[in-house]
Structure 1
Amino acid sequence: FVFLFIVLVASIFLPPVQFKFENIQPVFETGIKPMIHAVFLFTSIFSLPLIVLLMIFPVSVNQPKAAEKNFFIGILIGGICLLIIIALTILVLGADSSARQTFPSYAVARKLNVGDFLQRIEAIMALMWIITIYFKTVFYFYASVIGLAQTLNMKDYRPLTLPLGIILISFSLIANPNIVYVSTFDKEIWPLYVSTYGLVLPLLLLAVNAIRKKIHQK
């Protein structure tokens, strides 16, 4: 939250010329379908990947109730922070410029200047990205190792750590050859891919569980 705090404080003292409220006008200009697509894309990046945390919750926590509460609070705070950053990006850069930028929030961070004292804070933005990517990689890797160990009916997952780590490093170099490919994948492939295990599979499991309960009740 360091970067968010700096952005909020800096935005208060930003010169009015940097905020252009006409950048968010007119509202609902594109219609409903593009908005639904944008919401789906936002959900696929922010909400659906959180299904990976079910590999930790609730089996690896001592207080499931408190963990569940903190889990939803964290999602709420993270969503609010992300919405604030998106709003600041559109207000400063505009919708078209934000869409063309590969990293629009990074471009906004470069523009922040508070009294010629607080400026060029894009390094903090980059640091936040590195920390975020690190923890996301750890969660994904842990879920992959545990899931594969359970699939193979192994009692100990640690023998799989090194082989999967080597595969992960090799695959990271092959799967993302350039930034254009990554951008296309994030917009077109990733929402459908993450929906399979972040939305369809959980709904399927809930449906199967409901059917099993009805069968046992009979």
Structure 2
Amino acid sequence: MEKGKISSLQMAFMMYPTIVATAMLGVPSITAKYAKTDLWLSPIFAALIGYLTVYIAYKLHKIFPKQTVFQFTEKIIGLIPGKIIGFLLLFFYIQNTGIIVRDYAEFVVSSFLVNTPISVIMASMVLLCAFIVRGGIEVLGRAAELFVPVFIFPICIVILLLIPDFDFMNIFPVLGNGLMPPIKGAIVPGGWFSEFFLIIFLLPFLADMKKGLKSGMMTVFAVMMTLIVVNLLVLFVLGGTTPSKNYPLMNTSRYISIADFFEHVESAVMAVWIVGAFLKISVFYYVSALGTAQWLNLSDYRPVVWPMGILIVIFSFWSLPSSIDVNRNDIMAFPLQGILMQTIIPLILLVIAVLRKRKRKGTETS
């Protein structure tokens, strides 16, 4: 079905923007509502979900080395229950791909292309991603390798240019209300960290399999550090007003002004968002197309790509009627859905698989 191979570094480059791209724009304000001045601590607690998810995915892969979750679920819990779990997971990924496309389009329309129909922005992005998904995992890996430096560089430039506007006193008091506020603030980014379960679809295609777990764990650490830096950046510039901003990173970039000449650097944030969203949508799109083909027992996933693109655009329209509902979904629904579908259910599958493996060994020994 998929003959391509990627390196562990390419897998890391695919996963990094997949988590960070959408998390760093909207999540700081959501985290600040709960954690206040301790919002920079929340990614540390949220990363624990990421580490656990990567470990679960790797262990499942070790038991079923050449299969993805849609294939080995049927072996673990049986054909019918496996198909049901597979369908729920597939629906989750297709729906969330649509919501990511909608999130991207809402940001572009509200911040820049105010008079452009949102349908044009969504359809053009899905069309672009469809070409790269049809190219296969190798093309996706190479694109990630090419675009991740483009994704990281503008963030570094924005941080350097904002240093004169930093008010370091905004970080105090540290843990003024104890550990609970940053832990509560970690629930929403925890949903993003649960997306590391996507590596279960990439591990079977790794050329250097032994580096899979290390690469996954290092990516979780890189994402955690990026979110800590972004949260501190927002806190030092915006302070107590952070919870009231929809896109705090965009608001901070508007503070940059050097000699009344070098201004409007929010275009750099826009570039980061577009590159990151492109890679994130492509990875989710690829997983949805591959998963559909495996769930239907097809020999190739490529015939599914174009119909899947149409379905994703439809979901991006129908799932949530307005930008308010998109924000509410990001806060209320997605974190719990993400942790349930990508961490808790895989953990249950891993426990059942390990118990069955031990029972089988015990039977063979006796």
Give the drift of 1:139: 1.0
Moved over 6 A (4+): none
Partner of 1:48: 194
Indicate the SS of the match to 1:113: coil
Mapped pair 1:147 → 2:294 = no
Give the drift of 1:209: 2.1
Give the drift of 1:19: 2.2
Give the drift of 1:88: 0.8
Structure 2 unaligned segments of length 5 or more: list them.
1-151
1:26-82 deviation digits (Å, cap 9, x = unpaired): 22234443322211212212x1112123211x2112111234433333332232122
Partner of 2:57: none
Indicate the SS of the match to 1:70: helix
Matches of 2:161 and 2:335 in 1, distance apart? 33
Higher normalized contact order (CA 8 Å, seq sep 6+, divided by chain length): 2
| Matched-pair contact (CA < 8 Å) for 1:24–1:90 | yes
Give the drift of 1:115: 4.6
Partner of 2:345: 201
Matches of 1:114 and 1:44 in 2, distance apart? 38
* TM-score, normalised by the number of residues in structure 2: 0.54
| Matched-pair contact (CA < 8 Å) for 1:3–1:128 | yes
Mapped pair 1:23 → 2:167 = no
Mapped pair 1:168 → 2:168 = no
Mapped pair 1:8 → 2:196 = no
Mapped pair 1:35 → 2:182 = yes
Structure 1 segment 114-133 matched on structure 2, within 5 A: 114-116=258-260, 118-133=262-277
Structure 1 unaligned segments of length 5 or more: list them.
none
Give the drift of 1:123: 0.4
Partner of 1:61: 206
Give the drift of 1:10: 1.7
Matches of 1:176 and 1:98 in 2, distance apart? 25
RMSD of aligned residue pairs (Cα, Å): 1.9
Indicate the SS of the match to 1:26: coil
1:107-131 deviation digits (Å, cap 9, x = unpaired): 0011123454543211010111111
Matches of 2:177 and 2:321 in 1, distance apart? 33
Partner of 1:102: 246
Matches of 1:112 and 1:20 in 2, distance apart? 14
Percent of matched pairs sharing the same residue: 26
Matches of 1:159 and 1:182 in 2, distance apart? 30
Matches of 2:334 and 2:177 in 1, distance apart? 23
- The one-letter code sitting in structure 2 at the alignment partner of 1:22 is M
Mapped pair 1:189 → 2:323 = no
Give the drift of 1:105: 0.5
Give the drift of 1:165: 0.9
Give the drift of 1:138: 0.9
Matches of 2:265 and 2:218 in 1, distance apart? 27
| Matched-pair contact (CA < 8 Å) for 1:53–1:139 | no
Q: Bigger shift: 23-32 or 180-189?
A: 23-32
